[in-house]
Structure 1
Amino acid sequence: MPPVTDQAAQAAHTDPDAPATLVPALTSLLDGRWAALRADLRAQMGGEPYQDPIGLTVEAHRARVLDQLQALTATDRPGLGFDKAHGGGGDIGGSVVSFEMLGFGDLSLMVKAGVQWGLFGGAVQLLGTAPHHERYLRRIKDLDLLGCFAMTEHGHGSDVQHLRTTATYDPDAGEFVVHTPDRDAMKEYIGNAARDGRMAVVFAQLVTRGDSRGVHAFMVPIRDDAGTAAAGVTIEDCGPKAGLNGVDNGRLGFDHVRIPRDALLDRFGDVAPDGTYTSPIESDARRFFTMLGTLIRGRVSVGGSAGSATKRALALAVRYGELRRQFTKPDGEEVVVLDYLGHQRKLLPALATTYALHFAQDELVAALHDTGADAPEEEQRRLESRAAGMKVANTWHATRTIQAAREACGGAGYLAENLLPGLKADTDVFTTFEGDNTVLLQLVAKGLLTDYKDSFQNLSPLATARIVAERVLGAVAERTAARKVLDRLTEGDDREALFDRDWQVKLFEDREQHVLESVADRLRKAGDNPFGVFNAAQDHVLRAGRVHTDRLVLEAFVRAIDRCPDPGAKALLERVCDLYALANIEADRAWFLEHGRLSAGRSKAVIAAVNTLCAELRPHARTLVDAFGIPRQYLAAPMLDGSAS
């Protein structure tokens, strides 16, 4: 596809009256705190040769991705998240943004880079101490040492606390003995293991003096410099996958493999030469969750990269939707498919949600960057919960939206050359790696329930009853007031009600609070059967995590609009935010109706409002996707030939 000038691209917009400053204004707001870095990364990416890995064999794809990984070491991207003392940039937020930007291209490269520098390097940095940092970090950054993050086991994926690989300390030899007791304890789906990795951070149950002290991380060599498996290490190739075939996923097993005592990454627990165990955190369970909480950077990066893939799919589908014509009007003119309401509904609510998730992701990255490793436990826990909710929202949205984009492009969207099948295949696993989404929603709900419970701890029964009564009365009063507002607005213009931002936010807040209270009431009755009660309430638990995240996303969007300095961009984003909020309400109309938050008439008005917003935003669709700033070579699909793209 021949390059075109910015003027030609602007002229091709369906919105001829849009000012030339609108796309840059939106891009500036989207780029946010790391705008300069994003601009630099776009320039780097735009200047590098790129071709999607269509038709490559697994081995050829793996070789290409390794070559691309090595090319990245010539830039400053690999070291952004490492300490400056070890050749890094000391910019945690910047490192996550860098992975997010890689998500516009071959996602195998993003994942392999994430394994090497985010997971493997991040584990050494966050779980190790100064000697480990000195020995390994610069080598990891420079690709002198390729490594793996060996946590997941065949029989225990999400249940990390009960992994069965052991690392037993032998005081006579001053060594740990790493062992895989059976096939179910094999490390599974380990990136970099099948082909390129030389060392792995292995998560195993630490056993010393006959006592198990829970899961810890160990540096374990898996290959020698020639690529031969180390003694006692079994390596298997996972083989072709549905997607991400440029990543060499493998299985690892250990048959009484001996490693030195200092191979233990000892920030949260250490073993003396005589086998004495010490830790700054006394509780084994608390230590485990604290350790895992430090490793959320990968989870945040996966969510951001899923967002990038979603933006790419929408940019392709919107551009094609403005080119493709099908069926005729009475005057004989063929209709551009994006002019059909059904087509708009496939893409525009998803586009609005993508904007909303972007702003929430941007706030999450800033919070991760600003929250130091020594932050209070409560702050770390809330960050972990927020990261979990955003990873769920981003990855499930990617799965739904990329499928919708594929369908919106018809048969052209099914051709590999038009990129959407690859995006669909590569992002599919995002919903179940770096934390299965269902499990992560439970983590979000657990954090909410903990906060809920904490507000009642150390109170007398009378004080607790008073708080409950006040909450009930307050909730009744608020809902009564909301009902009065609803009734008043129902008598007037629906637009006045549905497009009132305070009403939208309060509706999201009220839904979250009601669901959380309902879950708490159910779980309070656990008694002698806590698992049975929890399992029976699991649908409510998952809903609590979802609606909490929805509320955070909407509030992040509102804050982004408030800080937008450009009047035209701000006005457009107000409508996009309306579409996000009302499409969310429309999707959950059953709940709002069942719980008396919407009247039947208002529920129907929500549908009409979504239709109206789709029509209002249709002329701006191209502007909105152009503002993502995706380098043009990543949109080089033959179905767009002839477009000004």
Structure 2
Amino acid sequence: MDVPEVPSKVDPGAVTAVLDGRWAELRRAVRAQMSEAEFRDPVALDVEAHRAQVLDQLRALAETDRPGLGFDPAYGGGGDVGGSVVSFELLGYGDLSLMVKAGVQWGLFGGAVQLLGTERHHERHLRDIMNLDLLGCFAMTEHGHGSDVQHLRTTATFVDGGFVVHTPDTMATKEYIGNAARDGRMAVVFAQLVTGSEERGVHAFLVPIRDENGNPMPGVSIEDCGPKAGLNGVDNGRLSFDHVEIPREALLNRFGDVDADGAYSSPIESDSRRFFTMLGTLIRGRVSVGGSAGSATKRALALAIRYGEHRRQFMTPGGDEVVILDYLGHQRKLLPALAKTYALHFAQEELVSKLNDIDSSAPEEEQRELESRAAGLKALNTWHATATIQAAREACGGSGYLSENLLPGLKADTDVFTTFEGDNTVLLQLVAKGLLTSYKHDFEDLSPLATARFFTDQVVNAILERTSVRKALDALTEGSDADVFFSREWQLKLFEDREQHVVEGVVKRLRKAGDDPFGVFNAAQDHVLRAGRVHVERLVLEAFAAAVERCEDPDARTLLERVCDLYALSAIEEDLAWFLGHGRLTASRAKAVTNAVNGLCAELRPHARALVDAFAIPEQFLAAPMLRS
């Protein structure tokens, strides 16, 4: 199959300009700072030395204005939420322990104080949080409850004008809490608020965990989680509380307050709505994790593609050894993954812009849509990182297995990304729930029982009426394979049609809930997860297509057109069984998809180095010995 050609040479800088997008100036500044010597990789450091190095690097970051970007200007912040997230993302080019520790301090701990607290908390703590005079923790996850935050077991009971924070059993121990084992002095503790005999649901409280000398506060037990598979520069710990007394003002009271007499009040009447509104304000961490995973993926691909351009293996009939990136099999390992990395980058950029621009008074539907998009992109970004870093390691053979060549560290550090800041499987269910409920105000419970009942009662007719996309797709399938496959309109309509068909199928299955809604939902869970995934894949393709349209350099635009084609067609190839089984592709056209992917790999092979150079990763983070000539 003839593949549209790409100019023989494209300036990586022109592609970088498209990638850098809205926060280009900030990206350049962060990359310049990261090129300085103190931001170095932790190869061969023991746990304690690694933790000390990361804290030193954190203090170096605190000397700049970037940690304050996301905070209120009234307290010395920059008022630039998007810029704050972008700066966290770029830390993913270096030691990911630094990114995580920075995220805990300024994103989770500081973010919770800012977004869940009120003026009394802001005035007292925000400046100290920004300049690291107050190091803190975000104590949400418990040993027995991770994703199911609504049923945490730690309690905060109103007694004699204050609160008593208590861990009732080992299952309520706060688990895996960053900054807790070594450096944190205060924690935002999520606990069930109890006033009188009434439980008011999960709220957040500021609880001191260490005194000025670093000793645990009375009633606070701190345990080091110890060495992990990766991210050992982060001092994860366990926290438990034995009737710890805190003042009434320690409650972060933006969404719920208790007066001196113990009377509870909230601007949100429904306990369930209040809970999800509170969690919805804290999505910056989830967005940052997805973006940082993307940065780590870019670094792995840059290492593997540079290695593939000079490593030689096996002879041609003419007697020359072949550069391994010239083999189609090697291109297949790396180039579709590179195309997907570009696609996810542009989707992430779009998400960060939406996060930055959304107003706190925006309609609930708009806020829920943002939460859904953040959940879905975090899942796809982190799963892609896990798969691509493994592929990059294999593409570098034994060299890729040596710690000095950086890929093992990336593999270990990113592995947990698929389960922290939201388990990916749970997050895709959240995405599907948003699709199937159309973000209805009266649908607040994520439980399978409530989900199934709501589907049965309200959404079926609205979804089954969608037929226009299929008709438009049918009209675009005429012509040669090349005419169809390289039509952006056809690609977009195909993704949209798949999404609508999958969503309809989920609804039809859940209509059968009857007397066993949980069983029906559980049996359809694979279908629910597919609905979430294909929805996000459609958003990703749309974001890539929009980025291509914004590109002003003609050669760079042509190159990005082909990279976008490779993303779309390789995604179709991955799900070929669905497209064949549901009659969207004929058998002959399905075979042609594979030929088109092979042709695009060959066409893009000469530009592989330019495409990874366009990420503009500081060279010190690509200084692997295997790349020395």
Q: Is TM-score (shorter-chain normalized) higher than 0.5?
A: yes
- Counterpart selection for 2:342 from 355, 361, 368: 355
* CA–CA distance in structure 2, aligned partners of residues 599 and 353 of structure 1: 25
Q: Equivalent residues in 2 for 1:292-311 (5 A)?
A: 292-311=279-298
* CA–CA distance in structure 1, aligned partners of residues 474 and 188 of structure 2: 56
Q: What corresponds to 2:44 in structure 1?
A: 55
- Counterpart selection for 2:34 from 38, 45, 54: 45
Q: Equivalent residues in 2 for 1:575-586 (5 A)?
A: 575-586=562-573
Q: Equivalent residues in 2 for 1:229-240 (5 A)?
A: 229-240=216-227
Q: Alpha-carbon deviation of 1:500? A: 1.0
Q: Equivalent residues in 2 for 1:597-616 (5 A)?
A: 597-616=584-603
Q: Equivalent residues in 2 for 1:487-526 (5 A)?
A: 488-489=478-479, 493-526=480-513
Q: Alpha-carbon deviation of 1:485? A: 3.9
Q: Alpha-carbon deviation of 1:482? A: 3.3
Q: Is the 8 A contact 2:463 2:504 kept in 1?
A: no
- Counterpart selection for 2:235 from 248, 271, 276: 248
Q: Alpha-carbon deviation of 1:524? A: 2.3
Q: Alpha-carbon deviation of 1:481? A: 5.5
* CA–CA distance in structure 2, aligned partners of residues 334 and 613 of structure 1: 24
Q: Alpha-carbon deviation of 1:469? A: 8.1
Q: Is the 8 A contact 2:491 2:568 kept in 1?
A: yes
Q: Deviations over 1:183-203 (max 9, x none)?
A: 010000000000000000000
Q: Equivalent residues in 2 for 1:352-391 (5 A)?
A: 352-391=339-378
Q: How much identity, in percent, do the aligned residues show?
A: 75
Q: What corresponds to 1:323 in structure 2?
A: 310
| Consecutive unaligned residues in structure 1, runs of 5 or more | 1-14, 457-463
Q: SS at the partner of 1:512?
A: helix
* CA–CA distance in structure 2, aligned partners of residues 347 and 408 of structure 1: 8
Q: Alpha-carbon deviation of 1:16? A: 10
Q: What corresponds to 1:434 in structure 2?
A: 421
Q: What corresponds to 1:346 in structure 2?
A: 333
Q: Is the 8 A contact 1:352 1:576 kept in 2?
A: yes
Q: Equivalent residues in 2 for 1:18-417 (5 A)?
A: 18-19=9-10, 22-170=11-159, 173-417=160-404
* CA–CA distance in structure 2, aligned partners of residues 632 and 35 of structure 1: 19
Q: Alpha-carbon deviation of 1:74? A: 1.1
- Counterpart selection for 2:574 from 580, 583, 587: 587
Q: SS at the partner of 1:248?
A: coil
TM-score normalised by L of structure 1: 0.92
Distance 1:134 1:455, change over 3 A: closer
Q: Deviations over 1:486-530 (max 9, x none)?
A: 3x32xxx31111111111101100000001111112222223322
- Counterpart selection for 1:479 from 463, 470, 490: 470
Q: SS at the partner of 1:39?
A: helix
Q: Is the 8 A contact 2:466 2:500 kept in 1?
A: no
Q: Deviations over 1:590-624 (max 9, x none)?
A: 01111111111110000000000000000000000
Distance 1:396 1:474, change over 3 A: closer
Q: Is the 8 A contact 1:294 1:373 kept in 2?
A: no
* CA–CA distance in structure 1, aligned partners of residues 141 and 133 of structure 2: 25
* CA–CA distance in structure 2, aligned partners of residues 371 and 530 of structure 1: 36
Q: Deviations over 1:459-485 (max 9, x none)?
A: xxxxx99x988976762x753553454
| Consecutive unaligned residues in structure 2, runs of 5 or more | 1-5, 444-455
Structure 1 letter corresponding to 2:610: T
For the aligned residue pairs, the C-alpha RMSD in angstroms reads 1.8
Q: Is the 8 A contact 2:135 2:184 kept in 1?
A: yes
Tell me which moved more, 538-547 or 51-60.
51-60
Q: Alpha-carbon deviation of 1:228? A: 0.5
* CA–CA distance in structure 2, aligned partners of residues 47 and 249 of structure 1: 27
Q: Is the 8 A contact 2:365 2:440 kept in 1?
A: no
Structure 2 letter corresponding to 1:513: Q
Q: Deviations over 1:196-233 (max 9, x none)?
A: 00000000000001100000000000010111011001
Q: Deviations over 1:279-316 (max 9, x none)?
A: 00000000000000000000000000000000000000
Distance 1:473 1:289, change over 3 A: closer
Q: SS at the partner of 1:359?
A: helix
* CA–CA distance in structure 2, aligned partners of residues 136 and 450 of structure 1: 39
Q: Alpha-carbon deviation of 1:17? A: 4.2
Q: Deviations over 1:351-407 (max 9, x none)?
A: 000000000000000000001223221111110000000100100000000000000
Q: SS at the partner of 1:95?
A: helix
Q: Is the 8 A contact 2:38 2:57 kept in 1?
A: no
TM-score normalised by L of structure 2: 0.95
Q: SS at the partner of 1:411?
A: helix
Q: Deviations over 1:518-543 (max 9, x none)?
A: 11122222233221111011000000
* CA–CA distance in structure 2, aligned partners of residues 596 and 123 of structure 1: 49
Q: Is the 8 A contact 2:464 2:504 kept in 1?
A: no
Distance 1:184 1:538, change over 3 A: same
Structure 1 letter corresponding to 2:324: V
Q: Is the 8 A contact 2:306 2:627 kept in 1?
A: yes
Q: SS at the partner of 1:47?
A: coil
Paired residues, number: 611
Q: Is the 8 A contact 2:7 2:558 kept in 1?
A: no
Distance 1:454 1:547, change over 3 A: farther
Q: SS at the partner of 1:628?
A: coil
Q: Is the 8 A contact 2:39 2:57 kept in 1?
A: no
Distance 1:454 1:165, change over 3 A: closer
Structure 2 letter corresponding to 1:357: L
* CA–CA distance in structure 2, aligned partners of residues 274 and 79 of structure 1: 37
Q: SS at the partner of 1:103?
A: helix
* CA–CA distance in structure 2, aligned partners of residues 393 and 470 of structure 1: 28
Q: Is the 8 A contact 1:127 1:291 kept in 2?
A: yes
Q: Is the 8 A contact 1:50 1:633 kept in 2?
A: no
Q: Alpha-carbon deviation of 1:157? A: 0.6
Q: Deviations over 1:81-113 (max 9, x none)?
A: 111111111110000000011110000000000
Q: What corresponds to 2:446 in structure 1?
A: none
* CA–CA distance in structure 2, aligned partners of residues 612 and 17 of structure 1: 16
